[in-house]
Structure 1
Amino acid sequence: MPLARSVLALMAAALILGSTPVLAEDGPVCAPVTKLPLERYLRQLSLDLLGRPPTVEEYAAVRAKGEVSVEDVRSMMNSEEFYNRMRGYHRALLWSNVNGSVNNNTNSRLFGAGSATDALSMRGNSSVPLRGANGIGCDSYIPQDSCATAPRQDPHAEPTTTKACYDARGVPLPVSWDYDTTSYYQCSRLDLVPNADPTKEPVPDPAINSCEAATKKTVGDRLDPKYMYFCDMRRVGTALVPHLCKPHPTKASTSALTAEETDASGKVVAFTHPNPSSTTTLTRLDRCTLTMSPRNGVEGTYVPQRGCFQREGYVTRPAPFWNIGGPEVRICAIEAQERSVNPWTLESCTTARFNGDRSCGCGEKMRRCEDSATSTTAAVTHASRVSAINTEPELIADAVVRNDEPYFNLLTTRRSFVNGPLSELYRDPQQGVGVFSLSSPAPAESMPVLPFADANTWREYVRGSQHSGVLTTPAWLYRFPTQRARVNHFYSAFLCKTFVPSNNRPPAAEDACNRDNNLATRCACKDCHATIEPTGAHWGRFAERAALYLEPSRFPRFDPKCYDCAIAGNTSCNGECSQYVMQAYDEEGARALGTLTSYLYRNAAEEQNIEGGPQMLVQRLMQGGDLERCAVRRIWQEFLGRPMSAQEQALYLEQFSTDFAANNHSLKGLIERLLLSDAYRRID
């Protein structure tokens, strides 16, 4: 029996092998398509469209009908679950996340609780020019408006004359000071006396509650009256405790300050270096006072005294804009100001410089500043703004899909949406100053009005004519900060193309072509940049590393002032010409001095691209079919979980693309076409 089976097997194999040439002559033969069972097909559809498996009721309904109909697919695509699914798809497609793209140095963040012992204040880098060191707030115990009659922190060292709370033009002045123990001084407590138990640490004596009392100690270290000016009443908890402060003995810069300079009464007023050289950086430390010197001799500017924390007092104000309706808060007098210019120098308080100018403040309702994170809450203002910016392009895409509009409205529509944080950020140019560099997408009066706290309500509005779908949202402009980055992701996301250098060998290093500053013509660069540079010109009216539209009336193609500054070698031009060519590196650059950088190395066609904006780019590409083909390939990969194979492209790509275009570029129609096709339904 085994032998017979073997013979039969050999005969069958010979028969099969002998028939192969005949089959080959008939051309390629596709394997029969095995479609998914009904329940599995429904499960696959539900997971792909809704992000969940079907319910028991949905299984029962399909079994009763014996099929999954077109109406079933369309019903799924009209559900909120599907729209949420497509928002996630577009979030991934657009890379809508600017968390790492907005450089928030926290210089305008307010720290503190706004309470009776912890007034709100800018304590980051801003506190260095305001109070003398990083991390320093104001005096939360002395009201600024009545500082002259309030108890003094260091009455033994302050002048006996009436204290000035403000200067002649209303700028807050210091009301108390402390010696800087971070960089200059070492301070030791003077209220400590020996413990009754000699094995334990000294204990505070409540009777030694002033510097005068410290000079009369009968046990422990007594304060030498000559150091009265260096006796500092420092807060320990909420109590003021006397400390003796001297130049730090172990720091290289202060340990050499061993000489003492005294006044007529014999009190030490400064510690000095006995033998300074020409390279000695620190030669003296004067006693702290409430007096601040003008910066570079300019009246109305103030420099904190070296080695001192000079604090102003607090004022009480209504709750800030991020907590409208909340209780009043204590805020430091500097931050509470609402000026638009320095009253002495007339320098602007509406730019990023405000947080280093003692006369500016946070503005009305603290709109120039942000809140900070606490142990129980996040930093509401910055996090809310970034979250809203991230969400905006998703909502633009959602409206296109939800309304079954032509899909590429995603790239051209002027419609957009704002919530509370975005509404206030766009309508009030003082919000986010120094953190965000952006322009309002529409006139403030045409923007929906929503309070900052209303982050979950989104209102539709129409942006200005310069805008073009998601391509001009702050999310896109910040996430892709240069024109080249914007082109690169546009090509990747919507044309399914990448820029890959060619294998052409570049010429020798000494060839002049290698020194061409125009990348569109430089050898070894032009293979990619001959496309990148002209395409990037479509974003030429949008600043790089910002979301700022360069309005032609404010940013003309050529600015004579910038040209004059460039010729004079003043490349900064007081910060007014950052968008202009201010230095020349070749002949063409020399001709472009004073011209918007977007116009450098441009020909006539590329200049039209600048004026036409991203809308012109999309309209031109709509004529070629690449947008449709890429959309098909991306939807294919999204729902089948893999890219199209070469065979599948030959079978389906042009057919699906043509149907997509003929169906008014309906994304729902494209998805329906794919989900009902054999390509989706078969078992591979």
Structure 2
Amino acid sequence: MRRYTFLFGVALVACSQGDPASSSSNADCAVDPGDGVTPVREEPEDELTPLRLMRRASIALLGVPPTVERMQELLTRATPEAQFAYVDDFIDEALEDPRFYDITFEHARKWFNIPLIPRTADAPEYGAKQQRVLTACKPGTANEGALRYFRDEVPEDVACAAGGAKTTVEAWWAPGTTVTLVGSAANTTNIGQIKPNGSPVDIECNQRAEGTCGCGKNAVSCWHDPGTYPGWGAYLPANPDGQRRLLAEEPARLFAHIVWHDRPATDLILSDYSVGPTEVQAAHINQSLAGGGLDVLTDESWWNPASFGGAAVDPLHEANDPKAWREYSISARNAFFLKERDYTFDPRKDPGTSKGFPSAGMLTSLGFLDTYPRERLRAARALETLACEQLLPPGGEIPFNVYETDPGREGPCQHCHARIDTAAAHFKRYAKARHAFEGWGALYYMPGVGNWQWDPAWRTGVWPFAEEPFAQWNKWYLPGSLLTPATEEEANANPYVLFLDFLPPEFTLLGQTSDGTVGPLGFAKLIVAAGSFDRCVVRRVHERILGRDIDPAAENGYLETLTASFIANGRLVRPFIKSLTQSTSFRRGH
């Protein structure tokens, strides 16, 4: 019997670490020049038996060994050829098993390694919620069970008594039912009051539940926590439905969704869609409202099952389940994460203000942006995770110029910052504000976009601009630096020049020149054009299925062959995984 090694129908050999391929000598790893079905070698003597091969495939694809019944059924096949054919059928079934979705998600969660969004103030406060917490009026009050702000200008006994302000709404977290709001939460006008210095100041509410403003349409700026102490339900990582945990999982869920629905892997960072239950999408909605993007409320498909039932979902939930990881358009949830795929804006010469930046899959998920509150950290993690870049100290005695102000061009840190800062420029127009309070959370600014405009005095650092993120901007966004390629004159004329968030043509990242697309999508385009993203996906999937990474130096020929085939076949991960299970290395237990 003769066994074959195929990758998308092309015969090849997987070079092991003991038999590395190089770019100059990779004959054993190259695509077979013949008809594509010619056997590349005789059946190896140490090939796994069909029973052991099925066990390996089951653990790799499903995370569990095959059942006793399946193993017994395999052994009833009369010939080795029939048994191997049975294993091939088993692999096809496993790739369609919901457990394959689960194991893909777990793999991506470990790969991306995105922590939970950190708190800004005292627990359970954290950033992304940006909604007022509602709690129920106590039994025995006139409005028993009605919902009020956990912290309100209106005292509890007044809000829950008869005769106070009251309204009923179909709340986003309880579609098909109505809830009663009392106190300031029941304010249905667009006028409210805040007390920034102890004295009341009138404000326009614009769907934000700030001060004495109400919860807004469908109570979108509020949420109900029926727990003993309001706020902890969304914060605790032990809660599988808590928003903080869900947002951390969103990037990995998106990857699993892409694999399960046979979408190109590049959708992970180039697309205008992501996945999330209602609780995740609520975070995007409220970020849009914070900047004045109110049009997102005209679309009910983020909370109303009657509107979102047709979306593609994970295999573990029904399409109309609010907890399903369902596909949604990012730009439809956040007015400042744009649908345009080639939006450009150069604040050095373009008049007006930026509309925002294009959505970019997991790179514009709030789980990614909020967890890493600064641009250089986002860039470093994106390079390491999605381009498989190694940001390591330089080896040996290397003379560097003296560091003064710019780590991208000066001192030993430029060894990494030459890459980090050119990537970080794309992540500048999103920043965490320092101030926060329990039950609402931190605020996230998109400087120069929407409502996020300030007096030019912010550049001086005077009150109230002495805290984050203004202090960060004033310290590190230095005109003339690699991170901020603008002149001091340009910055004085327009302070928002400091947030230039694309790579000018005189700079490159991984050898690539930008097309001018701003924000995270501009970064994504560059790592895809460099081939780094595709090679990184191939390495991470290979590591998951075969148990080892591919050494890009010692096995360059093998890596390039796999990557070329992966790209040629539409960057579909599931067929690529199947091809790996048919490889000589997999079938020999390597």
Q: Which residue of 1 aligns with 2:140?
A: 116
The answer for the alignment partner of 1:537 in structure 2 is 425
- Written as runs of structure 1 = structure 2, the 5 A alignment for 1:129-168 is 130=153, 138-139=156-157, 143=161, 145=163
- Distance change >3 Å, CA 55–CA 454, structure 1 → 2: closer
Partner Cα distance (1:429, 1:495) in 2: 28
CA contact (8 A) 1:580 1:595 kept: no
Match of 1:460 in 2: 327
1:485 is aligned to 2:485: no
Q: Deviations over 1:223-264 (max 9, x none)?
A: xxxxxxxxxxxxxxxxxxxxxxxxxxxxxxxxxxxxxxxxxx
Matched residue SS, 1:450:
coil
Amino acid at match of 2:190: S
Determine the C-alpha separation between the residues in 2 that align with 1:661 and 1:394: 21
2-structure distance, mates of 1:142, 1:622: 57
Q: What SS does the corresponding residue of 2:359 show, helix, strand or coil? A: coil
Say which of 582, 589, 595 aligns to 2:496: 595
Q: Which residue of 2 aligns with 1:414?
A: 272
Is 2:71 the partner of 1:59?
A: yes
Query: Does the CA-based 8 Å contact 1:521-1:530 persist in structure 2?
Result: yes
Structure 1 match to 2:48: 36
Is the contact between residue 386 and residue 536 of structure 2 (CA under 8 Å) also seen in structure 1?
yes
1:347 aligns to what? Answer: 203
What is the TM-score with the length of structure 1 in the denominator?
0.56
Question: AA paired with 2:134?
Answer: L
Which of 524, 529, 534 aligns to 2:412? It is: 524
Residue aligning to 1:368 = 221
- Match among 254, 278, 287 for residue 396 of structure 1: 254
2 CA distance for matches of 1:503 and 1:514? 18
Name the amino acid aligned to 1:341. Answer: I
Question: Which amino acid in 2 is paired with 1:371?
Answer: H
**Residues 418, 448 of structure 1: 8 Å contact kept:** no
Residues of 2 paired with 1:576 and 1:642: CA distance?
42
Structure 1 residue 648, shift from structure 2 partner: 7.6
CA 1:489–1:361 in 2, change beyond 3 Å: closer, same or farther? Answer: same
Q: Cα distance, 1:555 vs. partner?
A: 7.9
Match of 1:180 in 2: none
Deviation at 1:520, TM superposition (A): 0.9
Q: With structure 2 as the length reference, what TM-score do the two structures score?
A: 0.64
Shift of residue 84 of structure 1?
Answer: 2.2
The one-letter code of the counterpart of 1:639 is I
Matched position secondary structure for 2:455: helix
- Deviation of residue 409 (structure 1)? 2.2
Aligned partners of 2:466, 2:51: CA distance in 1, in Å?
70
Query: Aligned partners of 2:361, 2:479: CA distance in 1, in Å?
Result: 38
Separation of aligned partners in 1, 2:221 and 2:136: 17
Does the Cα contact within 8 Å between 1:362 and 1:369 map onto a contact in 2? yes
Answer yes or no: is the 8 Å Cα contact 1:316–1:328 preserved in 2: no
Corresponding residue for residue 21 of structure 2 = none
2:54–2:90 CA contact under 8 A, matched in 1: no
Structure number with higher relative contact order (C-alpha < 8 Å, ≥ 6 residues apart): 2
Aligned to 2:361: 469
CA distance in structure 2 between the partners assigned to 1:388 and 1:414 by the alignment: 19
Query: 2:465, 2:231 → 1: CA distance?
Result: 39
Matched, 1:667 2:573: yes
CA pair 548-70 structure 1, distance change in 2 beyond 3 A? farther
Query: In the alignment, is the contact (CA less than 8 A) between 2:259 and 2:574 conserved in 1?
Result: yes
Q: For 1:410, give the aligned amino acid.
A: L
Residues of 1 paired with 2:371 and 2:534: CA distance? 25
- Inter-CA distance 439–544: structure 2 relative to 1 (3 Å threshold): farther
Shift of 1:416: 2.7
- Per-residue displacement from partner, 1:127-167 (whole Å, max 9, x unpaired)? 6xx48xxxxx522698363xxxxxxxxxxxxxxxxxxxxxx
Q: Distance in 2 between matches of 1:614 and 1:600?
A: 9
Q: Give the structure 2 partner of residue 47 of structure 1.
A: 59
Q: Which moved more, 1:337-346 or 1:577-586?
A: 577-586
Q: Give 1:163-562 correspondences, 5 Å limit.
A: 317-318=167-168, 321=171, 322-323=173-174, 331=182, 333-342=183-192, 345-349=201-205, 354=210, 357=211, 359-363=212-216, 366-375=219-228, 384-427=242-285, 443-445=296-298, 448-451=301-304, 455-462=322-329, 463=331, 464-465=339-340, 466-503=358-395, 513-516=402-405, 518-543=406-431, 550=446, 554=450, 562=455
Aligned residues: 461
8 Å CA contact 2:267–2:361 kept in 1: the answer is: yes
Q: Report the alpha carbon displacement of residue 549 of structure 1 after superposing the two structures with TM.
A: 8.4
Q: Cα distance, 1:96 vs. partner?
A: 4.6
Give the superposition deviation at 1:568.
7.7
Distance 1:615 1:535 in 2: 11
Segments of structure 2 that go 5 or more residues without pairing to the other structure are 1-42, 194-199, 236-240, 306-319, 332-338, 341-357, 434-441, 481-486, 509-513
**Following the alignment from structure 1 to structure 2, what is the Cα–Cα distance between the partners of residues 404 and 615?**
22
- Corresponding letter in the other structure for 2:65: P
Of 113, 127, 135, the residue aligned with 1:95 is 113
**Aligned partners of 2:209 and 2:221 also within 8 Å:** no
Greater alpha carbon shift after TM alignment, 340-349 vs 543-552:
543-552
SS at 1:109's partner residue? strand
In 1, the alpha carbon distance for the partners of 2:399 and 2:266 equals: 42
> Are 2:502 and 2:522, in contact at CA under 8 Å, matched by a contact in 1?
no
Higher Rg: 1
Q: Deviations over 1:250-279 (max 9, x none)?
A: xxxxxxxxxxxxxxxxxxxxxxxxxxxxxx
Counterpart CA distance in 2 for 1:365 and 1:404 is 35
- Code of the residue aligned with 1:456 in structure 2: it is K
Measured in 2, the distance between the counterparts of 1:501 and 1:79 equals 44
Deviation at 1:318, TM superposition (A): 3.4
Partner SS state of residue 156, structure 2? coil
Q: Deviations over 1:564-587 (max 9, x none)?
A: x35787564799995996689977
* Contact in 1 for aligned 2:133/2:222 (Cα 8 Å): yes
Cα distance in 2 for partners of 1:477, 1:567 equals 24
The question of whether the paired residues in 2 share the 8 Å contact of 1:317 and 1:336 is answered with: yes
Alpha-carbon separation, structure 2, partners of 1:100 and 1:373: 23
Q: CA deviation at 1:529?
A: 0.7
Task: Assess, with a 3 A threshold, how the Cα gap between structure 1 residues 646 and 535 changes in structure 2: closer, same or farther.
Answer: closer
Distance 1:548 1:610 in 2: 25
Give me the whole-angstrom Cα distance separating, in 2, the residues matched to 1:574 and 1:340.
31
Query: Conserved in 1, the CA contact under 8 Å of 2:61 and 2:94?
Result: yes
Aligned pairs (5 A) from 1:564-583: 565-566=457-458, 570=462, 572=464
TM-aligned CA deviation for residue 532 of structure 1:
0.6
Tell me the residue number matched to 1:105: 125
Q: Distance in 2 between matches of 1:576 and 1:629?
A: 37
User: CA offsets per residue over residues 14-37 of structure 1, 9 Å max, x none?
Assistant: xxxxxxxxxxxxxxxxx9651111
Secondary structure class of the residue paired with 1:455: coil
Q: Please, which runs of 5 or more residues in structure 1 have no aligned partner?
A: 1-30, 132-136, 146-313
